[in-house]
Structure 1
Amino acid sequence: MQPVKDRQGTAQGASASPFVMETQCPFCSVQCKMRLTEFAPNALLAAGGNAPVLDYDEPVQYAVEAKPNKASEGRLCVKGMNAYQHAVSDDRIVYPMARRGDTFERISWEEANAMMAERLQAIAAQHGRDAIGLYGGGSLTNESAYLLGKFARVALRTRYIDYNGRFCMSAAASAGNKTFGIDRGLTNPLSDIPLAKCIILTGTNIAECQPTLTPYFTKAKENGAYIIVIDPRETGTSKMADLHLRVKPGMDAALANGMLRALIEEGLVDEKFVRARTKGYDALRAHIEAQSVEAIAELAGVPAESIRKAAIAFGKAETGMVFTARGVEQQTDGFMAVRNFLNLTLLTGKIGKPGCGYGAVTGQGNGQGGREHGQKADQLPGYRLIENEAHRAYIAGVWNIDPSELPGKGVSAYEMMEKVHDREIRALIVMGSNPVVSNPNANLVEEAMERLEFLVVADMFMSETARSADLILPVTSYLENKGTLTNLEGRVLLREGSRPAPGEARHDWRILCDLAERLGRGQYFAYSDAEEIFEELRIASKGGVADYYGITYERLRREEGVYWPCPSLDHVGDGRLFESTFAHSDGLAELVPVENHFPDERTDEAYPIYLTTGRVLSHYLTGVQTRRSHTLASRDFESFVELHPNAAKRFGVADGQLVTLTSRRGEIVVRCRVTRSIREDTVFVPMHWGDVQNVNKVTNQALDPTCRMPGFKVCAVHVRPLVVEHYA
C-alpha cells in the first residue's frame, strides 16, 4: 500500500476500508477489464500496474486500474478510465416516475407495474398484440437481451422487437452470414493482428472508437506491416497508415471493385484457394474484367495509381487482414459493400490461417451478443431464424410453449419508428436505447414518440427519448448489473456487478420478470439471478450457429472469456474460424459480383455537399452516459462540423462560427471547424448530441434493401452561417 496524496502533496492516513469492484468498461466492443476502488476521503489505495486515477471533485474518491486480459492486454482509454463518473452521477434516475401533465411524479414499483400491465393489456385488447413494440440496445448483457426477446414473444406475444444494434453491424452480419455461413465480429483472434503483413482498415477509426486496439496495429507496423486506411477524412487511424485512400462517401463498393480489378491484372489471385474453397468466382471475374481501374478511380474519387498500389500491397503480402466498420456498413448498399471487401479477402486466400482474416469492428459493447439471442426482428436465440419451422420448434420447446404461439418476423428498428408514426404500433417499451437521437430522420421519430398511446423508457438518465415517456423506470449501471457480454472477437466475458443499486433502480431482467408476472405469464420468467437466465440461454443456443452451450459462469471466471461457437463443456472455443471449411453446408465461401452503387441521395444546387457522420474519442453513441461524465463532457462539450477551407470559403463560413446544416429532412446548428483533413466535397458531424445538435435530424432514412441498415454515412446538405433572427 502507498499513501494517496492530496493536492497539496500531504500524505493522508486511512480512515475507511476501500470498496473494490472488478468490472469491465461499459462502452465499446473491446470490453476492457478494470478494477475500480471506491473510498472515502483519507483512505489508502493500492498501487497497481497503472497509476490510480483520482477524482477530487467527488464527495467519494475513485481510482481506476486497468486489468490484464486477453483482448485489451491491460489497457484502458479515456472513456474507460472515467466510465464510473456516470454510474455515480447525481443525475441518475433512482425511482419510477409517471408523467403528470408536463412533469414527472415519483411512484412506487407496485404502481408502475400495475400501470404497465393495465395499459399494455388494454392496447392489445383494442388493437391487437402487434400494437405493442419493444426497442432494445446493444449494450444490454446477453442475459437481458435474451430475456427481452423472450419477453416480446412469450409475455407480450408481439412480432415487433428490434434494437439499436441494427445501426451497428447489420450490414456486416448479413454479409458474413451470406459469404461465410456465420456472422462473428472477427474470424480470428486479436492476437493475429501483429502477424499480418498488410492490413486494410476501411470505414473504421479505431484510434478514436476502439483506442485500446491501436497497439495491435502499431505492433504490426513494427513487424513490417503495410497499413491501408480507407476514409474520406484524415483521422488518428489514417495518421498511422502507409497509404490513405480518401474515398468519396458512399463509393466504398466501387473502390473495392477497382482493387479487385488490379488484383486480377497483376495476377495476384490465389487461384488454388479460390478453386478449392469458394464458389462464384467465374461470374465475379467476368464482372470485374468488364471494368477498368481508371473508370472506378473517377467514381470513387481516388487516384488509379493509389488503388493499384493498395491492391498490389495486399495481394503480394504473405498474410493480411481486412477490417470494416460503420463507414462502409452504414450505407444503402452496406451489405454489398462489405461483401466486396470479403471478395478481396477470399480472392487473396487471406482467411483461416494465422495473420489472416476479416473483422467487423463492432461499435457497441454487446452489439454481437445482442442480436445472437433474440433482439433482432427475425432471429431467435443461438442465431436461429424465427421463420424456420425447425428453429421455432426447438426454441418453443425450451420455452415450454407451442410453436404456434411464437409470432412471426417483425421489422427493423427504423421501420418500427415508421409504424409508430403511422400508429400501427400504439405502445412501445424502450430499454437501453435512445431512438430519438440514434435513428435517421430524427424529426419523424420525435413526432412518432408523441403519437404513442403509451411509452415506457427504462434508463439510467433522462434521455431525449425519456422526455417523451409516460413512464420512466430506473435501471442499474454496469457497476451493479452482473452478466455476460460478447466482445468483437466473439469472446464471451463475464462482467461482475457488485456495487449496490442506487435508490430503487432495478436490473433490466428483473423489470421484465416482474412485468411478466403482472401480465399472467410469470411462470415463464421465474429467475432469481442473471446466472439462471444464462443457463437457459445456453440450452436455447445449443446446436445453433451461435452456440454458447459449453460456456458457463464458472468457466468464464476461470478462463477469463471463451470464444463461441463452444458446443460442449470440454470445447476450448474457436478463436480462429474457417481453417479448413466454411460454415455453409457445402463448406464453401460465396463470391458475388457487386455493382458500383451510388448513394441514395446525390448533391445538387440546393444541397451541394455530402455529409458523413461518426464518433469522437471522448463520447459513446448518443452521449446519454458520457455527457454525464464531467471529465469526458469537458473534452468535447458541443458538437461541430468539419469543413475543408475551400468549402468554408464557398459557403461563407469561418472557423469557430455557428452554422446551420440543412437537408431535405431538417436542420441542425453546430460550430464550424475548418480543416484540411477532410475532402472538399464532404463535411463531417459526430453523432453524440441531441436536440438542435442532433445530426440525425438531417440524415437519410433510406435503408439497405437486404439488412435494413440506414444510410447514415451519406446525405446531401447545405451549409450557411447561423442567422440569429431565424431562431428568435
Structure 2
Amino acid sequence: MADMLLSYFREKQKHTQKEKVSNTQCPFCSVQCRMQLVEQTSVTRKTYRTVGLDNPTSKGRLCIKGLHAHQHAFHKDRLMHPLIKQDGEFVQVSWEEALSHIALNIKQIQHEDGYDAMSVYGSASITNEEAYLMGKFARVALQTKYIDYNGRLCMSAAASAGALTFGMDRGLTNALEEVSYSECIILAGTNIAECQPTIMPYFEQAKENGAFIIAIDPRETATTNIADLHLKLKPGTDAALANGILKVIVEENLIDHEFIQNRATGFEKVKQHLNRLSLEEIENKTGVPQNEIRRAAVAFGEKATGMILTARGVEQQTDGSIAVRNFLNILIATGKIGKPSCGYGAITGQSNGQGAREHGQKADQLPGYRSIENEEHRAHVAKVWGVDPEELPRKGVSAFEMIQKMDQGEIKGLFLLCSNPIVSNPNARFVKKALSKLKFLVAVDLFVSETAKLADVILPTTSYLEDEGTMTNLEGRVTLREASRPALGEARHDWQIICDVARALGKEQYFSFHSAEEIFNELREASKGGTADYYGITYDRLRGKEGILWPCPTLDHPGTKRLFEQSFAHPDGRAVMTDVPNDPAIAKEQPCARYPLYLTTGRVMSHYLTGVQTRKSSSLAARNFESFMEIHPDTAVKFGVQDETLVKIKSRRGSIIVRSKWSKAIRMDTVFVPFHWNELQNVNRLVEDKLDPTCRMPGFKVSAVQIEALHTMR
C-alpha cells in the first residue's frame, strides 16, 4: 500500500512540477564561469537554483554573484518596452516610434553640428559581437570619431603597458593553470579572493606546492591573507615600490643576462636610472621597510619560475600605465616570461573586459587590435566593411575626455550602451552636469540606471540568459555563451538594437545581420592577420572545445596557450624595458592639513561595477545594502568616528555620507570606500579627474579627503 501511495505522489508531482534547464555563463567578472540555471515550476510557484558547469578556467566553481545572477534578470524593474521622455516623464512607445525618433534627432544633430557631434559610449560587459558592432556603428552608421567605452576606466593601463612592452596585450600571457606551478607570485593591487574568487584555488594550490606569494596592497584582504609577504604600501606608490624591487634584483645580480641580451632592449638605461635611486628614498615614499623590499626582490629573483599579476590597485592611477611597465621590467630582467609557469597577468575586471577592448570600441582602435591611424589596418577593415578607407574617421578621445567635450558643447549627442558613466566616472557631479547639456541621449539598458534617467530615449535590452554571443575571459580564452531563454517583453539584443538604429539611419546594407554568429564570422575576417586574430575560431569549434585562446589564425590552429616563447610582438621580436620615475608626471593628491587622509576605492564580493544589476538581486543586496568606509580604529578615535555610525567624507570635489567600519586591516593614513553605490554614497564624487598621460585612465585609487563624524563619540 505504501509503495502504491509513493508511486501515486511521484506521478502527481511529475505532472504538477516542470523543470527547465538553461546553460549559460556568469554575466559578472572576467572568469566567465559556466553555469546552469534550473527553473522548477509547480502549480503554486517557480523556484530557481544555479549550479556550476565544468570548464577549463573555473572548473565548475561559482561565487555568490553567479549563484544569484538570475535575480536581476527576472526582476520586476526590468525594462520591457521602449520609452521616450515627454514633459519630463518616460512614456511607453512602439519600437517603430522610438527608432524614428532616434533617427530624426541624430540626423538633425549631424546636419546642424556635424557628424562628430554624435558620440558612442560602449561597455565591456557586452559580447564580442556587440563590441565589434559598436565600433562599426560609430564609424560607418554615425561616421563619428567619438567612440570609447567603460573599459577605459578598468583595463586601459594594463593594456597600454602590455602593448608598449611586449608589442601586444592579452590578459594572461600564459594559461591560468600554470599559476599552480609557479614558484613565486607577485599579486600587485589585486584582491582576487573577493573580485575573482573562483580562481583562488590556483593560488592556493601554488601555495601548497611551495610557492612564495607576495601581495602588494594598502589593505589586508582575503587575498593578502594567503601571502608569505604583504607589502602594505601608501596608496599610489606602486611604481616606486617596483623600482625598489628591481634595484635589489639588479644589485644582487639576480637577473637573466642571456635573456636580456637576446630578447630585450632598454636594460642599460633602466640600470643607470636605478643606480641613481636609493632604497631609503623608496622606503620613505612607499612606507614599505627596506628589508621587506629586499626580501621580496630576492625571493622573486632567486626562484626559477615566477609570475606577476596586477589589477586596479596599480592600474587606476594617473601613472598606472608606467607603473605596470615597471612590474613588467621585473619580469624581463629575471627572464620570467614566455616560459612554463612564468608570465604576466592583468586580472581583467569586467565580464568581457578582454574581448571588448580588442575589436573597435576604443577611440584609436579597429577590430583585431588594429590601429585606426595605420593605413594598412584601415584598408583591411574598410574592405571587410565594404567602405572606402578614406571614409573611416580618425581617432577620437578617451571616455572621460568625451564627457569633457560634452560639457564644452563640442559633442551634442550620445548613444550609450549598457554603461552608467554618472556613477562610474571620476568627479561624478561634473559628469552628470555635462551629460545634462546634451541635445539628445539614447540609453540601452536592462534597467533605468542613474544615467538612463537623463536619456531622451531608453531601449530595453536582453540579459545574459537571453543574449547569445562570444566572450573572452581574463586568460584570452574565447568562449561561446549560448542562450536558451526568450527575450522578456519587447526587449531586443544589443546587436539587434544597433542594427535597428543603423537601418533607421539608412545604413542597413552594412548591418543586415540575422544572428550573432553572422556577426562573429565578419569579426573573424576583420581580425584576420591582426594582433588579436580570431579567424580560426568558429561557433562550432567553440562548442566542441569549451574555449580557444587567441591568437588562432587558422581553422586547424589549437589556440595559443603561452605567448612570447620565441619572440615578442614588436617588429624586432624584443621586449622594451623603460626607466620609470618614482614620482609620476602628473602629481597625485597628497594628504594635507585640510584633507589629512588618503582615500582609495575598490570592490566588495557581492556587488559588481555601479551596482545596477547586483543591487537588483535581493540576496546580494542583503549582504551589502549600503556603502561603508573602512578606517583603522586608531584613526577613527583621532577623528571622533565611532564604529558603525554615519560619517561624511569630503574631498575638493564634493562629499558623501557612508557608515564607518573599523578595521585594523587598513593603513592608519588611509580610508577605503567601495564604488557600487550612487547619489549620496557615490565615492566617485570625491575622485579628481586627472588622467594618465599614456592610457587616459583616471586616478581612482588616490584622493585626499577629510572625514567628519555625524555622531559624537562618548
TM-score, with length taken from structure 2: 0.97
CA distance in 1, matches of 2:310, 2:292: 19
Between the aligned partners of 1:575 and 1:646, the Cα distance in structure 2 is 48
User: Residues 108, 275 of structure 1: CA spacing in aligned structure 2 closer, same or farther, 3 A cutoff?
Assistant: same
Change (3 A) 1:659 1:12: farther
Cα displacement (A) at 1:603? 1.6
Name the counterpart of 1:27: 28
Asked whether 1:532 is paired with 2:527, we answer no
Structure 1: distance between partners of 2:104 and 2:78: 27
- Which AA in structure 2 matches 1:400? G
Per the alignment, residue 490 of structure 1 pairs with 476
Structure 1 match to 2:660: 672
Shift of 1:294: 2.0
In the TM superposition, residue 723 of structure 1 has moved relative to its aligned partner by 7.8
Aligned residue among 359, 365, 369 for 1:373: 359
The DSSP-based 3-state class of the residue aligned with 1:363 is coil
- Name the residue aligned to 1:466: 452
Deviation at 1:203, TM superposition (A): 0.3
Is 1:329 paired with 2:315?
yes
| Corresponding residue for residue 569 of structure 1 | 555
Cα 1:301–1:446, aligned 2, differ >3 Å: closer, same or farther? same
Distance 1:722 1:432 in 2: 36
- Letter of the aligned partner of 2:20 in structure 1? F
Q: Tell me what 1:349 maps to.
A: 335
Shift of 1:498: 1.1
Residue 641 of structure 1 aligns with an amino acid whose one-letter code is M
- The structural deviation recorded for 1:11 is 12
Residues 669 and 722 in structure 1, CA contact (< 8 A), matched pair in contact too: no
2:508 to 522, 533, 536: 522
Q: Compute the displacement of 1:13 (Å).
A: 2.4
Pair 1:621 & 2:609 matched: yes
Residue correspondence of structure 1 range 363-442 to structure 2 within 5 A: 363-442=349-428
Listed one character per residue, the Cα deviations across residues 508-556 of structure 1 (whole Å, up to 9, x for unaligned) are 1101111111111110000001000000000000010000000000000
Specify which of 679, 697, 714 is matched with residue 709 of structure 1: 697
2:273 corresponds to 1:273: no
Inter-partner Cα distance in structure 2 for 1:463 and 1:489: 30
1:213 matched residue in structure 2: 199
Q: CA deviation at 1:100?
A: 1.7
The Cα of 1:695 is off from its aligned counterpart by 0.5
Aligned to 1:602: 590
User: 2:527 aligned with 1:541, yes or no?
Assistant: yes
> Does the residue aligned with 1:256 lie in a helix, a strand or coil?
helix
Q: Return the offset for 1:605.
A: 1.3
Q: Which position in structure 2 is the counterpart of 1:641?
A: 629
Structure 2: stretches of 5+ with no match in the other structure: 1-9
Give me the whole-angstrom Cα distance separating, in 2, the residues matched to 1:103 and 1:641.
Answer: 35
CA contact (8 A) 2:18 2:42 kept: no
Following TM superposition, by how much is the alpha carbon of 1:600 offset from its aligned partner in structure 2, in angstroms? 1.9
Moved more, 675-684 or 97-106: 97-106
Moved more, 642-651 or 567-576: 642-651
User: Match for residue 438 of structure 2?
Assistant: 452
1:238 pairs with 2:239? no
Show CA shifts across 1:380-415 (max 9, x none): 000000011111111111100111110111100111
Q: Please show how residues 23-62 of structure 1 align to structure 2 within 5 Å.
A: 23-41=24-42, 59-62=45-48
Contact 2:80/2:490 (<8 A) preserved = yes
Q: Distance in 1 between matches of 2:486 and 2:190?
A: 37
TM-score w.r.t. the length of structure 1 is: 0.95
SS of corresponding position for 2:470: strand
Deviations 1:281-338 (A, max 9, x none): 1101111121122221111110100000001111111111000000000000001000
**Do the aligned partners of 1:174 and 1:707 also contact (CA within 8 Å) in 2?**
yes
**Does the aligned pair in 1 maintain the 2:641–2:711 contact within 8 Å?**
no
Tell me the CA shift for residue 16 of structure 1.
3.6
1:77-116 to 2 correspondence within 5 Å?
77-116=63-102
- Residues 197 and 317 in structure 1, CA contact (< 8 A), matched pair in contact too: yes
Give the partner amino acid of 2:659: R
Q: What is the distance in 1 between the residues matched to 2:518 and 2:430? A: 40
The aligned residue for residue 54 of structure 1 is none
Q: Which runs of at least 4 in structure 1 moved beyond 2 Å after TM superposition? A: 10-14
1:89-142 superposed Cα distances (whole Å, 9 cap, x missing partner): 111010011112232110110000000000000011000011111101000100
* Cα 1:103/1:12, change in 2 over 3 Å: farther
User: Could you tell me which residue of structure 2 aligns to residue 53 of structure 1?
Assistant: none
TM alignment of 1:78-157, pairs within 5 A: 78-157=64-143
3-state secondary structure, aligned to 2:706: strand
CA distance in 1, matches of 2:155, 2:287: 26
What CA distance in whole angstroms lies between the structure 2 residues aligned with 1:660 and 1:409? 41
* C-alpha contact 2:28 2:350 (8 A) present in aligned 1: yes
> Cα deviation per residue 1:360-395 (whole Å; 9 max; x = unaligned)?
000001111111001000000000000111111111
Q: Distance in 1 between matches of 2:343 and 2:187?
A: 12
Partner in structure 2 of residue 52 of structure 1: none
CA distance in 2 between counterparts of 1:519 and 1:68 reads: 44
Aligned residue among 633, 658, 676 for 2:646:
658
CA contact under 8 A between 2:82 and 2:93: conserved in structure 1? yes
Structure-1 separation of matches of 2:694 and 2:711: 41
Q: Matches of 1:375 and 1:60 in 2, distance apart?
A: 39
Alpha-carbon offset, residue 59 of structure 1: 4.1
Tell me how far apart the structure 1 counterparts of residues 671 and 588 of structure 2 sit (CA, whole Å).
Answer: 17
Residues in 2 aligned to 1:607 and 1:677: alpha-carbon distance in whole angstroms: 22
> Residue 54 of structure 2 corresponds to which residue in structure 1?
68
The offset of 1:39, in angstroms, is 1.7
1:448, distance to aligned residue in structure 2 (A): 1.2
Q: Percent identity?
A: 60
Q: Distance in 2 between matches of 1:638 and 1:492?
A: 35
What's the counterpart of residue 17 of structure 1?
18
1:270/1:347 contact within 8 Å kept = yes
Structure 2 counterpart of 1:411, one-letter code: V
**Count of aligned residue pairs for this structure pair:** 700
> Where in structure 1 are there 5+ consecutive unaligned residues?
1-9, 43-57
Secondary structure at the aligned position of 2:588 is classed as coil
Equivalent residue letter for 1:162: D
Amino acid at match of 2:664: R
Q: Distance in 1 between matches of 2:242 and 2:436?
A: 43
CA deviations on 1:441-461 (whole Å, 9 max, x unpaired) are: 000011112111111110001
Name the aligned partner's letter for residue 508 of structure 1: D
Q: 1:17, CA displacement in angstroms? A: 2.9
Instruction: Give the structure 1 partner of residue 673 of structure 2.
Output: 685
- How far is the alpha carbon of 1:423 from its aligned partner? 1.6
| Residue aligning to 2:172 | 186
Deviations 1:471-526 (A, max 9, x none): 11100000000000000000000001111111000001101111111111110000
Q: 3-state SS of the aligned residue for 1:621?
A: coil
